[in-house]
Amino acid sequence: MAINQGPQSINDIFSKSRQETKPPAYPWQDLALRVIKELGVPNFKRNSVFKLCKENSKDFIEKCLNETKELCQTGERWKYFFKVADSLKQPQK
């Protein structure tokens, strides 16, 4: 029977801690991460995406994402995503 001697070096400790990643706690966080990845949202706008996903329904966010993909073929798609979300939130006159 082998005896567990624990980590043999400091690198063993650090390599184990880096492997553990937490999954998102809420479904809207997973949706926000998907939007960030698909649209290439820069770091300084990530919080805005999380806020938008938290405050609105999944259907609303997916509708905005689909319209962005369909209508904006070139340029910064993440900017267009926020414009679409803002226009869909405002009541139609």
5-64: pLDDT as tens digits: 766 777 766 665 555 567 778 899 999 999 999 999 999 999 999 999 999 999 999 999
- Does 33 map to a domain? yes
Rounded Cα distance between 93 and 88, Å, is 12
Whole-prediction pTM: 0.70
Domain range enclosing 80? 24-89
- Does 78 map to a domain? yes
Q: How many CB atoms lie within 10 A of CB 35?
A: 21
Report in angstroms the alpha-carbon separations of 7 from 4, 11, 14, 15, 39. 9, 8, 10, 10, 41
Burial of 10 (0-12, 13-18, 19+ CB in 10 A): exposed
Question: How many domains are contained in the chain?
Answer: 1
- Does 12 map to a domain? no
Which amino acid is it at 88?
L
- Does 5 map to a domain? no
